[in-house]
Each structure stands twice: as structure tokens, then as C-alpha cells.
């Protein structure tokens, strides 16, 4: 795989984009018609996952990217919480609820894995820098 140059090339961003589409479809249903605030919460929160991945990628350091990934992961958790509420309020069928929860959990796991990868890469770079200083 080549170097990723744009956030649109990140598979995790693409998956988050698909989640946004899915949430928009789910909340376009009749059960959300009379609850615009709740529907808006869903849509804003799902966009937050996608947008924070993009914004973090465009920042100038891995540390900043990690910070935005942590925010994106938090938004995925918030979305899961909203899904629980929607299911409890009978706004979602069980199959849709399970599908949405699985999508959120998959994104959460992938964000966590990317955070760990970036942290390891930063630690390896710090270790090399320390060794380079000692060898001079």
C-alpha cells in the first residue's frame, strides 16, 4: 500500500463516512419525524466521528492526530449511547439497532488500533532520537 496523502484515502475515514450515510437513512424514517432535536443529535454525532478523523489527519503532528482520533472515538461512544436511547424509545427495530451498534463498535476498534499504531511509531521515533543523541 502506498503513502496516504489525503484523509479521504484513510479506510477508517471511508468507514466513518459510510456510517454518516447509514445514520441519515435510519433517522429519515417516520419514527424520527417528530423529534427533530433527537434526529439532529444523531446526525451531528455521526458527522463528528468522520470530521475529527479528517481534521486530525490534516494537523501538523502525530500527537495532534491522536488527540482528534480520541475525540472521534468519544463521538462513536456518544453515538452508541444515542442508539441505546433510540432503541429504548422504540424508534429503532432490533436489526437496525444491532447493525448500527456493530458499525460503531467496528469504528471504535479501528480508531483505537490507529491510535496505538501512531503511539508506537512516536515512541520508536523518540527512541531513535535518543540513541542518535547518545551516539554523537
pLDDT in single tens digits along all 136 residues of the chain = 468 899 999 999 999 999 999 999 999 988 898 899 999 999 999 999 999 999 999 998 999 999 999 999 999 999 999 999 999 999 999 999 999 999 999 999 999 999 999 999 888 876 665 445 444 4
**Half-sphere exposure of residue 97: CA atoms within 13 angstroms, side-chain side:** 14
C-alpha grid cell, residue 98? 444491532
Q: Which CATH superfamily is domain 8-134 in?
A: 23S rRNA-intervening sequence (1.20.1440.60)
DSSP state of 61: S
C-alpha grid cell, residue 90? 422504540
What is the DSSP secondary-structure string of 4-57? --SGGG-HHHHHHHHHHHHHHHHHTSGGGTT-HHHHHHHHHHHHHHHHHHHHHH
The whole model's pTM is what?
Answer: 0.87
Amino acid at each position: 500500500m502506498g503513502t496516504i496523502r489525503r484523509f479521504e484515502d484513510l479506510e477508517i475515514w471511508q468507514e466513518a463516512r459510510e456510517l454518516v450515510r447509514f445514520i441519515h437513512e435510519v433517522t429519515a424514517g417516520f419514527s424520527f419525524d417528530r423529534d427533530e432535536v433527537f434526529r439532529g443529535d444523531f446526525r451531528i454525532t455521526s458527522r463528528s466521528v468522520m470530521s475529527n478523523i479528517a481534521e486530525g489527519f490534516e494537523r501538523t503532528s502525530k500527537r495532534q492526530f491522536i488527540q482528534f482520533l480520541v475525540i472521534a472515538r468519544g463521538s462513536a461512544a456518544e453515538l452508541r449511547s444515542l442508539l441505546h436511547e433510540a432503541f429504548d424509545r422504540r424508534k429503532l427495530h432490533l436489526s437496525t439497532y444491532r447493525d448500527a451498534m456493530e458499525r460503531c463498535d467496528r469504528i471504535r476498534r479501528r480508531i483505537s488500533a490507529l491510535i496505538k499504531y501512531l503511539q508506537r511509531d512516536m515512541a520508536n521515533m523518540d527512541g531513535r532520537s535518543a540513541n542518535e543523541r547518545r551516539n554523537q
